[in-house]
C-alpha cells in the first residue's frame, strides 16, 4: 500500500516555509512585481535565518546540501530494510519550494542559498566539492543565444591551462544571475567529442572575466533577476569542475543531465504552489458570488463555474502527486528521469491552465490588480518553459516509454 501522507519530519520545515510565504512574501508580492529589478531587502533576514539553522544543525534547508542526505550508508541500508522508504533532501526541497511559491514564485527564486545551481551541485558534486560549495548561493547558466531547449548544443568552452580552467562564452536567461554568489556554468571541454564533453563548472561571482551584460525585463517573476552573463577568458580553479573531469563517451550526456532529474520536480512544485494559490483565491471569489461547489454531486449538474473549478482542482491534485513521486524516487536513488519530466510537463501545463482560467472565471476582479490572480497568471507561464519546455518534456516522456534514443525520436 502506498502512503501519500507527508512524513512528520518534513511537515515542520514545510510549515515554516508556509509561514514565510504568508508573513513575508505575500505582503511584498505586489511591491516587487511593480519594482522590477529592485532587490528584495526583506530576504536578507531569511538568508541569516537559513545560515543560522544550517550552522546549528537544527535544520538543513539551504544550499546544495538540501539535495543530499546526512544519513550514512549503513543508516540508509538499515532504513531500507525496515521500511524500504526514504524521504530526504529532495522531498524537503520540493515541499519548501511548493509552499514558498504559494506566496510568490519570483521571491522564491530570489531566496539566498536556494538557487537552481544548488540542485546541480547536489546532483553531480563529489563529497569534497559539496563541502566547499554546499552552502553557497548558486544560479545555473545553461541557455545560450544560439539554442534554447537543446542543452546538448552548448558552445561555451572550457580549456585547461595549468591549475585553472579558462571559460569563454555567453549565457542568457540566468535566474538570479546577478545576485547569486556562484554560477554553475555548462561548458564543453572538447567540442569535437560532442555532448559527452559537456561539463558543469562552479564559477565564483568575483572570478576574473565574468560580467553581467544586462538584466531582462519579463512578463512575470519580476522580483527575480534574469541576467545575461559574459565569460571572457574567465579563470577558475581546476577543481571547480563538478564531478569527474574525464570525458566518458559511453556515458555521454547523462552526467550533467542528472541535474534536471533534481530540478524538474522542484519547478513542478513551484507550478503546483502557484496553482494552489489561484485555486484558493478563485474559490473565495466564487463563494462570494453565490456559486456552490458540491463534491457529492456530478459536475454536469452544477453551476458551470463550479464544474470548471472541479476540473482544475483534479489537475492540481494529479500534478501534486506526480511531483511527490519524482522527488521520492530521487531520495530513494531510483532512476527518475521519466517521472521528473512527467511531473514537470503536467504541473507546468496545469499551472498556466489554472491561473489563467482563474483570471477568466473571476471576471473583472481577476483581470484587475485588486487581487494577485492576474500576477499569478503572468508568473506561471515561465514554469512551463524553463528547465525544459512543455514540448521537450513530452518528447522525453515519449522516448522513455517507447525506448527510443534522441536520434531516433526528435
Query: Checking DSSP bridges between strand 210-215 and strand 226-237, what pairing results, if any?
Result: antiparallel
Q: CB–CB of 376/278 below 8 Å?
A: yes
Q: Give me the sign of the Cα torsion angle 77, 82, 88, 90.
A: positive
Task: Find, among 70, 7, 19, 100, the residue nearest to 324 by Cα.
Answer: 7
Give the three-state DSSP class for 119.
Answer: helix
Grid cell listed for 274: 502557484
- What string of DSSP letters covers 226-263? EEEEEEEEEEEEGGGBSS--S--TTTTTHHHHHHHHHH
Q: What share of the chain is helix, strand, coil (3-state, %, to 5)?
A: 55, 15, 30
Q: Between helices 373-382 and 26-34, what is the axis angle to 10°?
A: 70
- Burial per residue of 242-260, b for 16 or more beta-carbon CB atoms within 10 angstroms, e otherwise: beeeebeeeebbebbbbbb
Burial class (CB within 10 angstroms; exposed 0-12, middle 13-18, buried 19+) of 120: buried
Q: Residue 186: count other Cβ atoms within 10 Å of its Cβ.
A: 24
Give, in order, the Cα–Cα distances in Å from 265 to each of 86, 98, 151, 384: 17, 10, 18, 12
Cα 202 to Cα 200: distance, rounded to the nearest angstrom: 7
Residue among 382, 396, 379 nearest 343 (CA): 396
Q: Are 300 and 376 in contact (CB under 8 A)?
A: no
Q: Which stretch of DSSP H or E encloses residue 150?
A: none
DSSP string computed for 51-101 = HHHHHHTS---SSGGGGS----HHHHHHHHHHTS----HHHHHHHHHHHHH
Which grid coordinates are listed for 35? 519594482
360 noted as active-site residue: no
Catalytic residue among 99, 144, 339, 387: 387
Joined grid coordinates for residue 141? 547558466
Q: Would you name the residues annotated as active-site residues? A: 387
Amino acid at each position: 500500500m502506498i502512503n501519500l501522507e507527508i512524513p512528520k519530519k518534513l511537515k515542520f520545515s514545510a510549515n515554516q516555509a508556509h509561514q514565510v510565504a504568508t508573513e513575508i512574501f505575500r505582503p511584498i508580492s505586489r511591491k516587487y512585481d511593480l519594482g522590477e529589478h529592485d532587490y528584495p531587502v526583506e530576504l536578507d533576514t531569511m538568508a541569516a535565518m537559513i545560515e543560522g539553522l544550517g550552522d546549528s544543525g537544527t535544520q538543513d534547508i539551504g544550499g546544495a546540501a538540501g539535495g543530499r542526505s546526512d544519513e550514512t550508508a549503513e543508516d540508509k541500508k538499515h532504513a531500507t530494510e525496515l521500511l524500504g522508504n526514504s524521504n530526504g533532501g529532495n522531498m524537503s526541497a520540493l515541499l519548501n519550494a511548493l509552499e514558498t511559491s504559494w506566496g510568490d514564485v519570483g521571491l522564491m527564486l530570489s531566496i539566498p542559498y536556494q538557487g537552481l545551481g544548488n540542485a546541480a551541485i547536489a546532483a553531480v558534486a563529489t563529497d569534497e566539492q559539496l563541502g566547499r560549495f554546499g552552502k553557497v548561493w548558486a544560479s545555473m547558466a545553461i541557455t545560450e543565444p544560439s539554442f534554447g531547449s537543446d542543452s546538448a548544443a552548448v558552445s561555451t568552452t572550457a580549456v585547461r591551462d595549468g591549475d585553472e580552467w579558462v571559460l569563454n562564452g555567453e549565457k542568457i536567461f540566468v535566474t538570479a544571475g546577478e545576485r547569486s554568489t556562484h554560477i554553475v556554468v555548462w561548458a564543453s571541454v572538447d567540442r569535437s567529442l560532442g555532448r559527452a564533453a559537456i561539463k558543469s563548472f562552479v564559477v565564483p561571482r568575483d572570478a576574473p572575466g565574468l560580467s553581467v551584460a544586462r538584466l531582462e525585463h519579463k512578463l512575470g517573476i519580476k522580483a527575480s533577476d534574469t541576467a545575461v552573463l559574459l565569460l571572457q577568458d574567465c579563470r577558475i580553479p581546476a577543481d571547480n569542475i563538478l564531478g569527474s573531469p574525464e570525458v566518458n563517451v559511453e556515458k555521454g550526456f547523462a552526467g550533467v543531465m542528472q541535474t534536471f532529474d533534481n530540478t524538474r520536480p522542484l519547478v513542478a512544485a513551484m507550478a503546483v504552489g502557484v496553482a494552489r494559490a489561484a485555486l484558493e483565491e478563485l474559490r473565495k471569489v466564487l463563494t462570494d458570488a453565490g456559486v456552490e461547489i458540491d463534491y457529492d454531486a456530478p459536475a454536469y449538474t452544477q453551476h458551470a463555474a463550479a464544474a470548471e473549478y472541479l476540473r482544475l482542482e483534479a489537475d492540481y491534485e494529479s500534478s501534486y502527486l506526480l511531483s511527490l513521486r519524482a522527488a521520492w524516487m530521487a531520495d530513494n536513488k531510483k532512476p527518475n528521469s521519466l517521472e521528473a519530466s512527467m511531473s514537470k510537463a503536467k504541473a507546468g501545463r496545469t499551472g498556466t491552465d489554472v491561473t489563467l482560467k482563474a483570471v477568466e472565471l473571476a471576471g473583472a476582479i481577476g483581470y484587475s490588480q485588486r487581487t494577485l490572480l492576474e500576477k499569478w497568471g503572468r508568473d506561471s507561464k515561465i514554469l512551463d518553459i524553463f528547465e525544459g519546455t512543455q514540448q521537450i518534456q513530452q518528447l522525453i516522456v515519449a522516448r522513455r516509454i517507447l525506448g527510443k534514443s534522441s536520434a531516433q525520436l526528435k
